[in-house]
Amino acid sequence: MSWERQVSIKSKDEIAIMREAGIINAEALKAASEVCVPGATTWDVNAAADRVLDHYKVTSPFKGVPGPIPFPASTCVSVNDVLVHGIPSKKIVLHEGDIVSVDCGTTYKGFVADSAFTIGVGKVSEEAQKLMEVTENSLYIGIEKMVPGNYTGDVSAAIQEYVESHGFYVTKQYTGHGVGRRMWEAPQVPNYGTKGQGIRLRPGITIAIEPMVLVGTDATQVHQDGWAVSSADLSLTAHFEHSIAVTEEGPVILTLLENGEPPVSVTGRKKL
């Protein structure tokens, strides 16, 4: 199958470099999360991540991604109905009750880490909290399926089944993806699918899994800036993402902090 041949297999040494990239990325996300407070702007959130990337003298592969305008920042900061690709802005102020997702990439020694979280600003509604928790849980449920011999469809189906069982929707338009020397590699891993279909997972495959979940619809709309993507009905949305390596020993999450904790957890997850 041609897709199978396009999937690049990473060596243990390459995966070790990707883990280092993932630690830096996790530190940047943790710093960004600490700025998600009432009165801060999405620009401030991006600046916090940038300070960490600058400290390590690394860059984000997000900067300059071609589009209507080249993507101008290291992170996407997406508030409430904005599902993904929000451009950080001094004009977008965070308010109590908002939910914010931050997606960050790091390129380190030629390899990419890609990860995202969603967090509440102050106290959020019950629905917003449930949305974030379901989205975070769906990510880890998908990751558990990333064992050699399983198929990408097993990951996709597990995410979809869990999200829909809680009454929410997954987007059909944006997907998880292989990650490595480039931010987007084969295979695509949608957040919906059929068990036993797709690419067979084997050790050395590295994939960014990223459930993007919407409260009221699976339809989306792109903003006038050509980047930000909202739910079509402007209902709340959430997004969690990790970069993962499939190994003989099972899935290894590359984008955790050095101590093995996720940079952000709305469910109180610690060591994984």
Give me the residues that bind Mg ion (CB under 5 A), please: 103, 114, 116, 208, 210, 241
Q: How far is the CB of 47 from Mg ion (least distance, A)?
A: 18
Nearer to Mg ion, 81 or 241 (CB): 241
Nearer to Mg ion, 179 or 215 (CB): 179
Nearer to Mg ion, 207 or 252 (CB): 207
Hey, what are 63's tokens?
Answer: 């900067």
Nearer to Mg ion, 70 or 122 (CB): 70
Hey, what are 149's tokens?
Answer: 């011999």
Q: At what angle do helices 152-165 and 126-144 cross, to 10 degrees?
A: 160
Q: How far is the CB of 235 from Mg ion (least distance, A)?
A: 21
Nearer to Mg ion, 40 or 139 (CB): 139
Q: How far is the CB of 38 from Mg ion (least distance, A)?
A: 25
Q: Could you give the C-alpha distances from 38 to 51, 158, 195, in angstroms and in order?
A: 21, 35, 42
Q: How far apart are CA 23 and CA 40, in angstroms?
A: 25
Q: How far is the CB of 42 from Mg ion (least distance, A)?
A: 16
Between CA 117 and CA 127, with CA 122 as vertex, the angle to 5 degrees is 70
Q: Could you give the C-alpha distances from 267 to 56, 197, 262, in angstroms and in order?
A: 29, 30, 11
CB-based contact 145:161 (threshold 8 Å): no
Q: How far is the CB of 114 from Mg ion (least distance, A)?
A: 4
